[in-house]
Amino acid sequence: MTRQRRAASAASAAAASAGAASAGAASARAAGAPGSGPGGRFPARIPGTAQPPALTLDALGKKCPIPIIMLADKIREIPVGQTIEVLADDPAAKSDLPAWCALKSQEFVSAADLPVGWSFLVRRSY
């Protein structure tokens, strides 16, 4: 084999390998692999936070007060000081979640826009 053919063969093998890796990552995201967020739609870690949330609640497609009810039910399952992420697409959640946190003395950490809805981060205070 000539030097040019070997280089072309190596380049096409590298491209095929990269394509397979990309396809594998896409299927892992679609399967909901760890770190890919629910359904692989977005990252599980909120930008600017030191660690991923201890629990993620997927309330996408549910109208308020369901995201609040889900949060109130599950927040007791995480240790004090840890965070819980609530994914919601109901516009009422943008005001209801911070209000619930203030009412229940929990720390509302952040809200981040997602391709569909928002990600809210709450730290358990007690």
User: Can 101 be counted among the known catalytic residues?
Assistant: no
112 - beta bridge partners? 119
Cβ contact 86:70 at 8 Å: yes
Residue tagged active-site, from 60, 64, 68, 93:
64
Catalytic residues: 64
